[in-house]
Structure formats: C-alpha cells, structure tokens
Structure 1
Amino acid sequence: MPRPAEKRRPGVLLDRDGVLVRLVWRAGRWVSPRQLAEFALLPGAAAAVARLRAAGLPVVVVTNQPDLARGLLEKQTLAEMHRRLAAQLGVDAIYVCPHDDADGCACRKPRPGLLLAAARDFSLNLRRSFLVGDSWKDIAAGRAVGCLTVRVASPALEAELGRADFSAAGIGAAAELILRTLCRLPRRHRIADPVANRAARRVSRNLGLNRAVP
C-alpha cells in the first residue's frame, strides 16, 4: 500500500546524458553515446551523487534511450553502460524509456511515466523532490508531477529550454543547490541527516538561494 503523501520523502531524479554522462558530437550535433568507448562520466558526477546519498536522499536516473527503438544502440551495450554507471555512482536505480516518439508510450519524457514509477518504488513526495536535466523534455516531465526542476548547462543548446525553477552550471552545482534548498523546507520534508542539514544551513546563510521555496 502506498504511503500517505505526508510520510513520503524527497528524492533526486537525474537525467543521464548531459547531466551525468558526456554527450557525443556526431553528425553535427550533440547526442547520447552509442558505444562503450564513448561512455564517460562528466567531471564531478560521482562526488555530487555521493553527497546527495550521504544526506539520505534516494538518487535515481530517469533516461530516454530512443536509439534502442531506432536500432542504433544494442541492448547489451546499454546494459553494460548502466552496470558501469551503477558501479561508479552508486545510484539507487536507473529507469529507462526504450521507445521513440512515434511509439506513444507513457514513459518517454516529457511524459512523466519514469518519474511516477520512481516515486512509487521509493515512496517519494514528488512535490518535494528534484528533477535535474539539460533539456526541455526533462524540465517538462518534472513540472508535470510537481517536482522542483533544475536545468544544468549543456553543450546541446535548445531553442526551447523549458522554464526550470533553478539553473546550475553542472551536476556538482545542482547537488549543492538541492542540499541548500532542502534545508529551507518545512521540517517534515527535510533530509534525514542532521549534520547535512546544519551544513546546508551554513551554506544557505553564506551564499543565499536562487529561489525562495514556499
């Protein structure tokens, strides 16, 4: 039975490519890696995830991988990528949409199916959780379920960026922002670690917030 909303916890939902993993320049644009040789973490990704998890936050990856449906990415290759990602980052789960736009699925961002699945599995309060992404589809998916949204800078600039609640230079800055923001929430929604809360309050006093959270 699902927990009542007031007993659910905040969490962090991360897009994969452009947030945790380097994009690849191919045919004149930035795209997701398709080969293991192309698969590499962005600087600071491991440290950022470690900070979030040390604060007691579930950290899950929510990623569109339409190259599976397009026949451009092998299932075995994706499985090995995610084995490496889990081993290097220690994320709690990785949720994948394998479909393309024409498939009309409920899980391909900007639809929120992946986020809803993570919320169900980890008893997340989505209105007190964060979605971190680099595309308008990420931001739209987060906003659809009431998440606080953080857009990180990416080389894959888009005409339609999506209106995020926060912006950050990268995943490290996003993690800092999340920890600072959570310490300002009502007590019942704060992160569990009191040391992390005290540290976050000190940072908040020194640096200020990008946005006041009600």
Structure 2
Amino acid sequence: MIGVLLVEDQALVRAGFRMVVDSQPDMRVVGEAGDGASGITEAARTAPDVIVMDVRMPTMDGIEATARILAASRTPKVLVLTTYDLDDYAVAAVRAGASGFLLKDAPAEDFLAAIRTVHAGDAVLAASTTRRLLDRLAPPVDPTAQRLVSTLTDRETEVLRVLARGLSNAEIAIELAVGEGTVKTHVRHILTKLAVRDRVRAVIIAHEAGLVLPGTR
C-alpha cells in the first residue's frame, strides 16, 4: 500500500486528488496539508511513501518544504505539481530533491502512474522534458561529478549516458541490445556508486560531469 500525502493549497483540488488516489487498491491518502509548513508537519506525522507537492502556496512554498522534508528523511519521494511545463518553480523543486514533476492538468491515469513510478524509485520526467530541464540546469563541468562518474565501469557509463537522455529502462535495453533486467542491475549499481537516491540525481550528475552536452538528443 502506497501512503500518499497531498500538499496543495486549493481544497477542491486536494479533494479531487484524494478521490482519485483512494479509488486505487494499492494506495491511500494518509494526510493532507494546505501549505508547505503544514506539509512538513504532516510528513513527520504520517511518514508517507510519496508526497504530492504543489509549489505555489502561502506561508511556505513547495520548494522550501521539499528541501526541508528531504533533509530530515530520505524515505519519502516527492512528486511536484506545476501549472506550466518546466516553469522556474519546477526546476527549483528538482534542485531541492524532488523525483520529478507533473502538470496539474494531467489525466488521472497519468497522475496515478506518476505516483507508482516515483514510489518504485524511478523519475517522472518525459524524455523531451528531461532534455529541456537539463538545458536549464546546465552548469560548468564539475570536477566532483567527473570523479563520481569515473568510478563507474565502461558499461555503467554507457548506461548512464543513455539514461541521461531521459530513456526508460525498457528503452535503454532496446538501444543497448540487452535485457531490461540487466539495465535495472546497472542502474542500481550506478545509483549506489554515485551516492544518489534516484535517477533524477544521477541524470544531473551525468550532465554536470559533461557526459551529455546541453541540447543532445
């Protein structure tokens, strides 16, 4: 059972999310909050698996709330809700540690799939969105990131380079002509060696290390 915490300042929107989540046999809403500060309190009280986090809220926005929650506990995964694809708030939320973001007007099935995907440890970023996100986050090449990437085997580096383009495990398997199980094993080793919690962080490190250049398709 996936425990979901809803942090959204609009009560009607929260009610809609609750209805959708509670209709599923494998997930339930464990708490609600109307702003980031309350979200921090509820996250500590309910210990959710996934937090659905709005970014534009009174008292404390979702960016600061995400950073504080993940600094206190590495357990929950944060799925950020945004009104506009790749707005500055969403980019900042990913920097703060969110595992991905979703447009508020996404279909219910996409919303539910995103919760399950984030809970499973994957990232909710479409390939095209990942490319634009990384172009926005693009820093100078970071020697620390390069050192981390240098700990990978040649095959793991190859997998990371493809992963950094926003491909799923299944798509990576097809591109590299290997089994999906093999890809999952490589990804698990990559996350361990890079000391990151999810694919989003691994993709950012790959970008910082110069493994993938901005605008690469």
The structure whose residues are more often helix, as a share, is: 2
Q: Which has the higher contact order (CA 8 A, sep 6+)?
A: 1
Q: Same fold (TM over 0.5)?
A: no
Q: Tell me the TM-score normalized by structure 2.
A: 0.38
Q: Tell me the TM-score normalized by structure 1.
A: 0.39
